[in-house]
Structure 1
Amino acid sequence: MSDTDHVPRYPNDAVAHTNKSSDEAARRWRVAIEIGDQGSGTEKTSVKTVSAEKIESGEDFAIETLIDDRVLAIFRHAGKWYAIDGMCSHQGGPLAEGVVRDGCVTCPWHGWQYDLATGIQMINRQPLQESFPIRQIENRVEVSLH
């Protein structure tokens, strides 16, 4: 089956499939987090600020942010960055407020669990949460939505 023949089977499958392109030049990266002094960001931007000390401590954390009218949950877990749709596909719970363990986030509302890297729901193994490419370049963490 070619990319043009892809038939979406699950709610987020259509967008997730097209967003997995390996063509870096075609990606549009958006700054989601700036690493620096707390309070260095402005109130007029949705870019969140995280202290360099928090990153260096190795502490796991999650941040909810808005990029292009999309709510995203961005996780720092086990030294890696992850970005997934911030609203649980079950009933819209805030995934950034969920508990993260072993590469999986548990929605705080009803306990649905998703793999951070793929968005796959852990019980039925279906790709229900859209996941996004994410990278850190110097003091910026960027997400590609398209």
Structure 2
Amino acid sequence: MSDSDRVPRFPNDVVSPANRADGNEEREWQPVIEIREDQSCSGESTLKIVSRSQVESGEDFAVEALIDGRVVAIFRHAGDWYAMDGMCSHQGGPLAEGVVRDGCVTCPWHGWQYDLATGIQMINRQPLQESFPVRQLEDRVEISLT
């Protein structure tokens, strides 16, 4: 078996065995972001609105969402989506407001850094942030907390 055969289905499966599943159909997916032509809000939507141009521009950005009473940070970085617990494990800083660079986010409060894909803290290499599978289906971004 080569190293490429050992890549987990979702990067966070390295950290959280509870998130492992044989396929996407076994997960409970929750819509979090709606991608629209512009960011204007029309109607009563509980989804975060992100403009299509922002997604297609290739620029990194983050959105904070409250899902089932839980703060989740959803990142768009280098063309991929990532999701993790939105409160820093150090002292609860808002990770969605942090700087993202080279696949990691730096908490804006005290500088703790976490790998976007796994939630592993970059200094002690411990899995301190729970990360979640995330996917984009057409104009919706969904995550699975289970």
Name the TM-score class by shorter chain: 0.7 to 0.9
What stretches of structure 2 of length at least 5 have no aligned partner?
Answer: 1-12
Partner of 1:60: 60
CA contact (8 A) 1:94 1:108 kept: yes
Output the TM-score relative to the length of structure 2.
0.85
Q: CA deviation at 1:72?
A: 0.4
Q: Distance in 1 between matches of 2:56 and 2:116?
A: 21
Partner of 1:85: 85
Partner of 1:113: 113
Cα deviation 1:62-101 (Å, max 9, x = unaligned): 1111111110000000000000000000110000000000
Aligned residue identity for 2:17: H
Q: CA deviation at 1:44?
A: 5.6
Partner of 2:23: 23
Q: Distance in 2 between matches of 1:48 and 1:42?
A: 12
Q: CA deviation at 1:35?
A: 0.2
Q: CA deviation at 1:42?
A: 4.4
CA-based RMSD: 1.7
Seen in structure 2, the aligned counterparts of structure 1 residues 128 and 139 have a Cα distance that, compared at 3 Å, is: same
Partner of 2:141: 141
CA contact (8 A) 1:71 1:86 kept: yes
Output the TM-score relative to the length of structure 1.
0.85
